[in-house]
Structure 1
Amino acid sequence: MRAFHATLLLASVSGLCLALPVAAQVAVPAPGSAQEAASESQDVIVVTGSRIPGRTIADSPVPVDVIGGEQLTHAGYTETSRLLNQLVPSFNFPQPSLTDGTDSLRPATLRGLAPDQTLVLVNGKRRHQAALLNLNGSVGRGSGAVDLNEIIPIAIDRIEILRDGASSLYGSDAIAGVINIQLSRRQGVRGSVTYGQYRTSMAGVKDVLGVQTDAAGIPVIAVSGGTNRANDILGLNESQDDRVRHDGDTLTLASSIGLPMGGDGYFVFSSQFRDRDPTQRSGADPRRQYLAGDARELTANRFNHGYGDGKTRDMNLFLNAGTTIAGQFDLYTFGSYGIRDGLGAGYFRRPNDARNRDWAASTTSFVPYYPNGFLPFIGAEIEDFSGAVGVKGDIADGWTADLSVVYGTNELTYTVLNSFNTSLGGQASPRNFRAGGLSFGQTVVNLDVSHTFDVSFLNKLGLALGGEYRNENFRIRAGDQASYVNGPFVANGAPGGAQVFPGFQPQNQVDVSRNGYAGYVELDAEVTDALSVQAAGRYEHYSDFGDTVNGKLAGRLQLFSGVAVRGSISTGFRAPSLAQQYFNTTSTNNVAGTLIDILTVPVSNPVAVALGSKPLQPEKATNFGGGLTFDPIPGFSVTADYYQIRIRDRIVLTENLQGAAVNAVLASQGITGVSSARFFVNGVDTKTQGVDVVATYRVPDFGAGQLRLTAGFNYNEQTITSRASLPSLPGLILFGRAESYRLTKGQPRSKINLGADYDIGRVSATVRTNRYGSVFSPGTATDLAVAPGAGAADFYLEPKWITDAEIRVKPIPALELAVGADNIFDVYPTRAPAGGAFGSNNYFLPYSNLSPFGFNGRFLYARAAVSF
């Protein structure tokens, strides 16, 4: 706590005097544009944070940052989430590997909270979430997320980020804040071709020259773990140089066509195709690969894991159109269609691995199914669609209305490739499987009405009110029988189901829906030229858990010219998702000759009920924020905001509940054959507090071009204040040490963004550098009382600076050529320790999935863009 307050004071003071270089969330618009002139005077009209139109950045009582769409094109990366990670200090986008479907659909977070605690809007309308529920060892475990990478940069006019709780205005999910993506209405033709490749040396990972042998040519073995051959560690001859990689080739084609529609009408069609090759960042696997005495041990490929970015191919289309009808109403429509084919690797199965045994051929001795082992892959085909239509305009006497309908759906289909179902035996098992899938659909109907009144004792009074209907649907589809079946060799100890991802079984299938109704009211009063106040309230009813009421009060006071204070207090909520309520999978293990089910079950499942589960209730939040804005001269502004977010009844996935006490409780309810189960619970209360400092400065014209500096800083501290328990299993830990620290310390506590944009006629350049604070990676200790760093295999990822640079040239006005480098200094996260308490996995998985900037190294790229 003391460290937090010291950091808060330092950040606030430094932000005000610009002594601390801090990173910008307000991006620089295109040079010479109307947007640029407006942003420098803080007069950009924003539509996020209030339902009453006409509010600007300068007079907002809550922090709203605007990122111009032009900034999203000044980088080699063409994924929206990666770009926001470079631009927004409180935004975190780790890029994990070996996390099943999460490899292809990675979640992002705001202010260190869960991915599903940030609301995403497109053109001010709620965007649907992805069907995927993140269940593996990544940030955001147990939650879903909106797939921001489906929203392509070329289709974006600007991104507005509300850094404040807003459930009273927008409903569920808006606890951490709101990201509103405004689509482009720009006329003309634009297109770009971007090609890049990682050219990198893997820090701390050496190439292998060969295997050490004794005088007889036998591999030298340093036995770790007794006589278990799987744990034998070979002595390797390593190179003195770091391993060099040239991979991850990425081609992106983007285009946009904007046509006039008469009057104020517009029609913009945008598209992007992206083809990304995989990256390989595994280290050498020193474990024995073959059975003892096999000469192939000396020549085996030790870099056999697929650790890094998977192979993906994306195609995304966007439409944004509108026209005036009946002289006073605007008819609008927008929508998107995207399809992504992703291929992520699982763990490599060595030739001598029991999971590679062909039981049909192994009559007296071990016979491998794949002679040289195998690397299984999880394919994820993701199809995403959204469509919206609405009409808005003046209805009578200054009253305006907006009626809209939005439908969105996300469907994920799993395939398993280069694998096999060991329990079926080599002849009976296919190598490729269709493993089923997930889908989520959402329909939202909104009616919003607003009016501005002239009141004698106020400068202005605005009223907004409205209602919403929302329908959601979640489905699980079963896979092919071979993907989940327990074959005849389960009795021999062979696992059932397709390896790396057993398919969904028929009993896992669900098709569930719910409805929700909401009504809200908002009052905005400009009391004087210096004082404005905002109040809002919202009521919602859900068909599955009942009612919730939330409110907000915010205000802004200008102390004197260029200096103002602002603050807000609000309550918020997040409804338990249908996936959290109904997701379920089953895998089967052979334990001492008995088939035992290991289950992820809904809270309503008899196993969960027997263990003490309860119907999930909404997460409830209380948000407090306050800050200072400093805008003394044109082109220069600083904001500093403190926030505190208390969340009660956060929904988390329990540990695998197992052991004698669990078995006894299940047996008492007549349930047998289950050794382990997990389910979602309202498991923890948390407190999150932090500070955001944002600064922008357009350097006065000095006769040699235009220079704009941007900076921003975020400090974020999260703690667990209370834990739930199951009355039937007192003392059993529901949410363990590893997941607790992933929640509270698995993201950078501090982050700094710095940026500079320079423009001199036909030449321009951008330089950005980001400092990611330390991240804690918990080890194998399970006692919650063990402090960070004191547990076995605990380690910290050290703070790192990542720098990006790009230079652009316009040989003719319609053509721009650019070259650049993301992570130009080829920085990697701290190498994960290996051996001893850290085990052998870190030898070949050398970097942590918790790295906030990934672990791919330097990316070099070139781009050609046309605009006319």
Structure 2
Amino acid sequence: MKNTTQLSSLALATALVASGWTAPAFAQEGVNDADPAAAIVVIGTRRTDRTVADSTVPIDVISGDALQNSGTTETNKLLNQLVPSFNFPQPSLTDGTDSLRPATLRGLSPDQVLVLVNGKRRHQSSLINLNGSVGRGSTAVDMNTIPPLAIERIEVLRDGASSLYGSDAIAGVINIQLKRSVGGKAQISFGKYITQMDGVDQVDTVDPTLTSPTFAIGTNGFYSVSGGDNPVISYTGKDRKRNDGDTYTMATNIGLPVGDNGYLNFTAEYKDRSPTNRSGPDIRRNYFAAGDPRETTIDRYWHRYGDGESKDMNFFVNAGVDLSEAVEFYTFGSYGVRDGNGAGFYRRSLDIRNQDWSASTTSFIPIYADGFLPLIESQIVDISAAAGIRGDLGAWNYDLSLVYGSNRLDYGVSNSVNTSLGGANSLRKFNAGGLRSGQTSLNLDVQRELDIGIGKSVSFAFGGEWRNENYKIVPGEEQSWINGPFSTAPYGAAGGSQVFPGFRPSNATDVSRDSFAGYVELDSDITDSFTLQLAGRYEHFSDFGDTVNGKAAARFEPISGLAFRGSISTGFRAPSLAQQSFQTTSTNNVGGQLIEIGTFPVTSAVAIALGAQPLKPEKSVNIGGGVSFTMIDGLSITADYYNIKINDRITLTENLQGADIVSTLTAAGITGVSSARFFINGIDTRTQGLDIVASYRLPDFGAGTVRLSAGFNLNDTKITDRRTFSGFTAQRLFARQESYRLTEGQPKDKLNVSLDWDYDKVGLTLRTNRYGKVFLPSSYSTSANNNNIDLAPGEVPGDIFLSPKWVTDMELRIKPIESVQIAVGANNIFDVYPDRLPFGTVDGVNYGLNNSFLPYSSQSPFGFSGRFVYGRVSIDF
């Protein structure tokens, strides 16, 4: 059945593309629904009259309507459906990243795309992604705090723009324009996953006849549980079915006039998402004793692999009023809170991490009789406030603004234990500390039209920015990080709360920096057919110095409706304060000694002794060129090539450990540390690709309005150079698995195709996305060369390729009365899953048993949750 439906999706997409009806649904709301290319944009230039069609660089505009016609209410998921160069994997078992998932543009890092709200820089989150997910080592903007109902439209600039906006704008810029209209809308939606897990069997019987493991002191001098048999399990032959992930969303948007010349637009959203579980059966034994009858009755799907539990409240306000004919005061802001709950690995009953040393030091006694699933409970509080005045001063337009934003992440751990304290003495719930980040920006932008006798029109703009950033790490309570009496030999219990040891007092951090910038920009229509844009920016950071960047872009339209455009620019991304200052440590017992293992800031004595240098900004050169075709009424097609060279990309080293590490640190007077990692300017990369975006509005044929659209992205990233220092090889600093996660861990091609039909009181949206192949490098012990960076994909036993997949969404809408709309639909209507991962020994490769209960890769570009069915009611007032 699944193969048939996937072929149906392919046939539909092929037919639409072959007919010339191509690209993502970019109809405009409040701009020009009949001609999206006529939309006035506020990114990519300081001009006030530049349209999408006239832009010298590629810009996509996504309407608020397109965001509404979907079952998801997460902004990142919506962009993943609508923008071909946007990628939003949904990892699980990645600590705080489960609650704050990063997204990417053009295959680059999440922190290499700049996010604006109403044209003003949005603050980043405090979370730095350190675990095995796309975007490892980066911080990102949490766009899921922005309710879709608050959005008038989203502008996506697919070109380097550091000379215009400063740091982070290497891959491009996403500008979210908030609603300012008068009126109101309220909506409530409910959806859940109704799915059948592809390739994951239901357990039928379990044979508990087992040989017991041993509980004794091993050759390393510590107690361990070893040996014993796993149960023999038979299956029903039927795929596992799941009905979970119930999601309720209630939102309202209200727009009010303020006097004769003002507006106040307010949005409130509440979202309640239950967790999903896509774990397979854990086929390992759970209990210590041979023949324990509980092996036959326990639910072997005890892991929780999928979306975590989440409760979100988000509020947005956007307001403005004319103080005079020439001056407008405006303000906007947001408040959001998210209570998240994500699971770690299940600790089986016989796991040494479940041993109750306070009950016995010579026999195995579990703390949790059936084992336990530790949970990470996160609370995220996100706040932003902006205010400014803009207007005219003679021939000059000006905009003076002040923006503040902060993100706070507090970690809690529940259903856990600090084994090193003993079961009788440890808490089961912990406050593990938290992260804080803040940003304050003061901007002045000035622009005017010049008449200098050259060109049809010349826009001259200049301005400046002061920005302050701060970053903090707050320690957790003592039991969340302390090493108890059972951390020493012969017990060897790890200290701290299991699944997420708390931040220690020694990890406490409070750092800040300032930056000052000035820019100048010329944007001129030299003739009716030729446009030239030039820009330059100087920026000074208090922690690493100066950077200067420039841009030149041009557009030539020799025939009306056929235009060629190109750009070249330099860019940069300042190392985040988190990358410079994040630190966390844990303690393991090695050879009877407590050894510190951790992530250290580059300024620490440990990192310096191992050769770390102060981080420099990443520097880029962006080259782009393309063509725009609008010669047929209702049809717009653009094709753009890009080439992005980035030097000094910031990466997190591998865990550096071994006798030479200990020797080097000892020579520097540092003892008790056996393993360390830190951030370095580790690699250079080149990313190149092609974006093709088109839309077609069919002529009126008496059966409503039909819009066909599609987009295609082809993307390739290569590592062109690697850094070495202090005797470390390039492979040791940034090994094969992380190298290929960066270059091959996202699809090299992606296709969006959609159809929107509206007729009287009925509407239909149909979207399908094809996600290209993803490579997962081997990480298994039988692969002797699994860290050899010189071996290409497929050359190491255990390398895995996730095959391309089609994912199709459909929604049907009806208006029983003018002010009420009812919608029903399904995301991933054909219930498509990524390829099931192998486990056990397959073709001579021992993949281990973890994939038995973690059946799908977290790097799947469309997640691994299956079919989501939903309904929505909207009321306009």
State the TM-score, normalized to the length of structure 2.
0.94
Matched residues in 1 for 2:788 and 2:212: separation? 34
Counterpart-to-counterpart distance in 2, 1:769 and 1:116: 28
Cα distance in structure 2, aligned partners of 1:728 and 1:509: 31
* Equivalent residue letter for 1:833: P
Kindly provide the CA deviation profile for residues 42-77 of structure 1, in whole angstroms up to 9, marking residues without a partner as x: 211000100121100111000011000111111110
Question: What pairs with 1:448-463 in structure 2 (closer than 5 Å)?
Answer: 448-463=445-460
Kindly indicate whether the alpha-carbon contact (under 8 Å) linking 1:639 and 1:694 is maintained by their aligned counterparts in 2: yes
1:248 matched to 2:245:
yes
Deviation, structure 1 residue 647: 0.2
- Structure 2 distance, partners of 1:148, 1:660, is 44
Tell me what 1:148 maps to. Answer: 143
Q: Tell whether the 8 Å contact from 1:221 to 1:234 is kept in structure 2 after alignment.
A: no
Aligned residue number for residue 787 of structure 2 = 782
Superposition RMSD in Å: 1.8
Shift of 1:27: 1.8
- Name the residue aligned to 1:437: 434
| In structure 2, C-alpha distance between the alignment counterparts of 1:482 and 1:185, rounded to whole Å | 50
Displacement, 1:599? Answer: 1.3
Partner residue, 1:65: 60
Say if 2:833 is the partner of 1:828: yes
Q: For 1:232 and 1:456, how far apart are their aligned partners in 2?
A: 87
Aligned equivalents of 1:601 and 1:22: distance in 2? 53
The verdict on how the C-alpha distance between 1:400 and 1:26 changes in structure 2, with shifts beyond 3 A counting, is farther
Match of 1:374 among 366, 369, 372: 372
1:416 is aligned, of 413, 423, 432, to 413
- What residue is the counterpart of 2:391 in the other structure? 393
2:839 maps to a residue whose letter is: A
In 2 relative to 1, CA 731–552 (structure 1 residues): closer, same or farther, beyond 3 Å? Answer: closer
Q: Secondary structure at the match of 2:33?
A: helix
| Residue number among 345, 348, 373 corresponding to 2:346 in the alignment | 348
Q: What CA distance in whole angstroms lies between the structure 2 residues aligned with 1:354 and 1:256?
A: 53
1:816 paired to 2:813? no
1:543 equivalent in structure 2: 542
Mapped partners of 1:668, 1:456: distance in 2:
70
- For residue 329 of structure 1, the aligned residue among 313, 327, 330 is 327
CA contact (8 A) 1:407 1:443 kept: yes
Counterpart in the other structure of 2:667: 668
Match of 1:270 in 2: 267
* Aligned pair partner of 1:845 in 847, 850, 854: 854
1:561 deviation in Å? 1.6
Aligned pairs for 1:202-281 (under 5 A) are 202-212=197-207, 218-219=209-210, 229=226, 232-281=229-278
Whole-angstrom CA distance in 1 between matches of 2:454 and 2:347: 76
Corresponding residue to 1:865 among 839, 863, 874: 874
> Is the 8 Å Cα contact of residues 461 and 522 (structure 2) preserved in structure 1?
yes
C-alpha separation between the residues in 2 aligned to 1:222 and 1:675? 30
SS at 1:37 equivalent: coil
Determine if contact 1:27/1:66 at 8 Å carries over to the other structure.
yes
User: Are the aligned partners of 1:222 and 1:235 in contact in 2 as well (CA < 8 Å)?
Assistant: no
Q: Deviations over 1:541-589 (max 9, x none)?
A: 0000000000000000002121110000000000000000000001000
Asked if structure 1 preserves the Cα contact closer than 8 Å seen for 2:212 and 2:288, the reply is: no
Match runs of 1:688-767 below 5 Å:
688-730=687-729, 733-767=732-766
Q: Distance in 2 between matches of 1:483 and 1:20?
A: 61
Q: How far is 1:298 from its partner?
A: 2.0
Query: In the alignment, which residue of structure 2 is the partner of 1:499?
Result: 498
CA contact (8 A) 2:212 2:228 kept: no
Equivalence map 1:440-519=2 (5 Å): 440-491=437-488, 492-519=491-518
Cα distance in 1 for residues equivalent to 2:876 and 2:443: 36
Query: Could you say if the C-alpha distance between residues 34 and 545 of structure 1 is closer, same or farther in structure 2, counting changes exceeding 3 Å?
Result: closer
SS of the residue corresponding to residue 149 of structure 2 reads helix
Q: Spell out, residue by residue over 1:264-312, the C-alpha distance to the aligned partner (whole angstroms, 9 max, x if none).
A: 4110010110000000000000001011312222222210001000000
The structural deviation recorded for 1:26 is 5.0
Deviation at 1:38, TM superposition (A): 4.2
Q: Give the SS at the match of 2:660.
A: helix
CA contact (8 A) 2:623 2:644 kept: yes
Distance 2:430 2:487 in 1: 19
Deviation at 1:690, TM superposition (A): 0.1
Q: Report the Cα distance in structure 2 between the residues aligned to 1:35 and 1:292, rounded to whole angstroms.
A: 72
Residue aligned with 1:321, SS: strand
Per the alignment, residue 9 of structure 1 pairs with: none
Q: How do residues 155-166 of structure 1 correspond to structure 2 at under 5 angstroms?
A: 155-166=150-161
**Rounded Cα–Cα distance in structure 1 between residues aligned with 2:225 and 2:798:** 22
Q: 1:490 to 1:804 in 2, by over 3 A?
A: same
User: Which secondary structure state, in structure 2, belongs to the residue aligned with residue 193 of structure 1?
Assistant: strand
Change (3 A) 1:319 1:867: same
AA aligned opposite 2:590? V
Residue 592 of structure 1: CA displacement? Answer: 2.1
| SS of residue in 1 equivalent to 2:732 | coil
Whole-Å Cα distance in 1 between the matches of residues 730 and 827 of structure 2? 48
How many residue pairs end up in the alignment? 843
Q: Does 1:96 align with 2:95?
A: no
Corresponding residue of 1:11: none
TM-score when normalising by structure 1: 0.95
Q: Which consecutive segments of 4 or more residues in structure 1 shift more than 4 A?
A: 20-23, 219-223, 226-232
Alpha-carbon distance between aligned partners in 1 of 2:227 and 2:588, rounded to the nearest angstrom: 19
Aligned-pair identity in percent equals 58
Given that 2:21 and 2:708 are in contact with CA atoms closer than 8 Å, whether structure 1 keeps it comes out as no
Query: Once the 2 structures are TM-superposed, how far is the Cα of residue 20 of structure 1 from its aligned partner?
Result: 8.1
- 1:796 aligned residue (797, 801, 818): 801
Distance in 1 (CA, whole Å) between partners of 2:365 and 2:75 is 48
Equivalent of residue 190 in structure 1, options 174, 181, 185: 185
Deviations 1:648-689 (A, max 9, x none): 000010000001221221121121111100000000000000
Work out the CA distance in 2 between the residues paired with 1:255 and 1:750.
37
Greater shift, 261-270 or 632-641, is seen at 261-270
Query: Deviation digits for residues 674-713 of structure 1, max 9, x if unmatched?
Result: 1100000000000000000001000111111111100100
Say whether the 8 Å CA contact 1:22–1:694 is kept in structure 2: no
Q: Distance in 2 between matches of 1:263 and 1:89?
A: 42
Question: Which amino acid letter does the alignment assign opposite residue 823 of structure 1?
Answer: N
TM alignment of 1:523-562, pairs within 5 A: 523-562=522-561
SS at match of 1:75: coil
Q: 1:263/1:54 Cα in 2 relative to 1: closer, same or farther (>3 Å)?
A: farther
Q: Distance in 1 between matches of 2:324 and 2:454?
A: 37
The SS at the match of 1:50 is: coil
SS in 1 for 2:851: helix
Aligned partners of 1:25 and 1:66 also within 8 Å: no
| 2: CA distance, partners of 1:825 / 1:379 | 33
Q: Tell me the distance in 2 between the aligned counterparts of 1:533 and 1:147.
A: 35
Which SS does the other structure have where 1:544 is aligned? coil
Aligned to 2:402: 405
Structure 2 gaps of 5+ residues are: 1-12, 780-785
Structure 2 partner of 1:6: none
- Code of the aligned partner of 1:577: S
How far does residue 228 in structure 1 lie from its aligned partner after superposition?
Answer: 6.7
Within 2, Cα distance between the matches of 1:313 and 1:503? 23
Task: Tell me, yes or no, if the aligned pair for 1:725 and 1:732 is still in contact at 8 Å.
Answer: no
Q: 2:166 aligns with which of 168, 171, 184?
A: 171
Q: How does 1:352-367 map to 2 (within 5 A)?
A: 352-367=350-365
- Structure 2 CA distance for partners of 1:147 and 1:584, relative to 1, 3 Å: same
Q: Deviations over 1:88-124 (max 9, x none)?
A: 0000000000000000000000000000000000000
Rate the CA distance shift 1:231–1:389 in 2: closer, same or farther, 3 A. Answer: farther
- Report the residue type matching 2:275 in the other structure: P
Deviation string 1:610-663 (CA, Å, 9 cap, x unpaired) is: 000000000000000000000012210100000000000000100000012212
Residue 192 of structure 1 and its aligned partner are, at CA, apart by 0.3
